[in-house]
Amino acid sequence: MDSKKIKTLGELKKSGYVSKSIKQEIRENLIKKIQAKENPFPGILGYEDSVIPDTERALLSQHNILFLGLRGQAKTRMARQMIELLDEYIPIVAGSEINDDPLQPVSRYAIDLIEEKGDTTPIAWLHRSERYGEKLATPDVSVADLIGDIDPIKAANLKLSFADERVLHYGIIPRSNRCIFVINELPDLQARIQVSLFNILEEGDLQIRGFKLRLPLDVLFVFTANPEDYTNRGSIVTPLKDRIESQILTHYPKSLETALQITEQEAAINDAQQKRVKVSDLIKRLIEQVAFEARGSELVDKKSGVSARLSISAYENAVSAAERRAIINNEKETQVWLSDLIGIIPSITGKIELVYEGEQEGPYQVAFNLLERSIRTQFGLYFPNPDTLKKKRGKEAVPDDNPYKSITRWFDAGNSLNTFFETRDEDKVQLLYKVDGLHTLVEKYFKGANDKENALLMEFVLHGLAAHSLISKKVLEGKIEFKDLMGSMLNIGTQHFSDEDFNEEDFN
């Protein structure tokens, strides 16, 4: 049906157009997508076997939906993508504030207009992109905002009583008739405002200032909520929750691989940065691991969650840190080094909520510790785990079994290595080659690595050994300093290690 050619109610009737509710419309289009093996929620990763099937079942059942989950779990994005399940265009009575169906008008304006003009009633066409409404629930939201109120100026101008429907100023929900309407952070709505939604969900009725108004709205409601809200700020009143037919639990990526795909997809890296800065798989995994470490940390509030936006922001900052260094050094091309990851600290501190112990530690220190734990976790996947080697003692321990002996002895001999944040790439590589056994170790475990990969892995070894308390690492003004562990402890004593972390007999 060519909607552009149909301009009047009479033409619409002749075309054979059949009215259907928005939930029927979405159901029918979803069935077509499922039959065609199309993903109705493209770009939503990690939900293929959980949230997406649950959502499809809810939409097939023509349910209103509550997405319940921590921040950064794509709840609103899921709702916005439902627009693609709508018909491309639907007819409305031209001039209607609430998108009246020409064949089933509900507002006084549309009913009177059709009664007056009959089949010559003008018809307009509404694109699916215009059939989405969204409201962030805040404590100051009023019933008038959502439902509507009496407009005394309109009543005076039209010389009508307040009981006349034509003097109403419709709120955002009536204006979203025949649309998808989303209320984000539902528990933040005051309880009395939530109560005003009862009849809309159940019967489609509106009640404004005591006036009885039968207005059967046709809306698909999607609500989002964070479980934290149930205890910290507010709650969803039980009768309202009972009227929302499907509650769907969202979650964070369950695997590092899925998290990597999400960050790769969402990070805003422009063409100039992509040409200038190369990011290795190792760096990507280290950044992603930070979010996993934060979600498991006893210093981070688990009820608040750790958004996927942490990894995305951190990735963008890491690339920008490398780009800035390349600009300063007038280098046409560079890669993200581990020392550049100091630049992701601001992305971490703003994305985590700390418990009391974490507040005592301080957000910067907690963020730095999470980065160190990420390095420690990933190091054991690339090189022999130093913790395993530490346990080798007595007759079972063969001195030559320790692949890190040459490196730690070099530092024990009083040598140190300073890597400045703004060091040129070629100068950094030369510094790394000064450490005895470092290049040999990398070549042993990564025979096919090229020069740049070798250099990055060499730097990774130093950070990994420091994370396992085998050498000392200090982040100072503008540089990172690597030294022997014992000398550093004796000279400064600012770093604290437990007996479990360090035993001088382990690597003799």
Specify the pLDDT at position 158: 65
Tally of structural domains, the chain: 3
Specify the pLDDT at position 360: 93
Specify the pLDDT at position 142: 86
**Cβ–Cβ under 8 Å, residues 219 and 181:** yes
Specify the pLDDT at position 251: 94
Whether residue 29 is predicted with pLDDT greater than 70 in this model: the reply is yes
**Cβ–Cβ under 8 Å, residues 377 and 370:** no
Indicate the Cα dihedral angle 390, 366, 260, 295, nearest 10°: 90
Instruction: Answer yes or no: do 360 and 398 share one domain.
Output: no
Specify the pLDDT at position 397: 46
Q: Is residue 387 part of a domain?
A: no
Percent of the chain surpassing pLDDT 90: 69
Give Cα 145 distance to the centre of its chain: 28
**Cβ–Cβ under 8 Å, residues 72 and 230:** no
Q: Is residue 447 part of a domain?
A: yes
The pLDDT-based confidence of 202 (bands split at 50, 70, 90) is confident
Instruction: Answer yes or no: do 268 and 369 share one domain.
Output: yes
Report which DSSP code applies to 496: -
Whether residue 495 is predicted with pLDDT greater than 50 in this model: the reply is no
Instruction: Answer yes or no: do 449 and 466 share one domain.
Output: yes
Instruction: Answer yes or no: do 257 and 290 share one domain.
Output: yes
Which pTM does this prediction carry?
0.84
Type of residue at 70:
L
pLDDT tens per residue, range 309-318: 999 999 999 9
Higher pLDDT, 161 or 300: 300
Among 358, 382, 406, residue at a domain's last position: 382
Mean pLDDT of the chain: 88
Higher pLDDT, 139 or 80: 80
- Compute and round to an integer the Cα radius of gyration of the chain: 31
**Domain span including residue 358:** 252-382
Higher pLDDT, 280 or 239: 280
Instruction: Answer yes or no: do 374 and 402 share one domain.
Output: no
Q: Is 203 helix (H, G, I), strand (E, B) or coil?
A: coil
Give phi and psi for 147, each to the nearest 5.
Answer: -100, -50
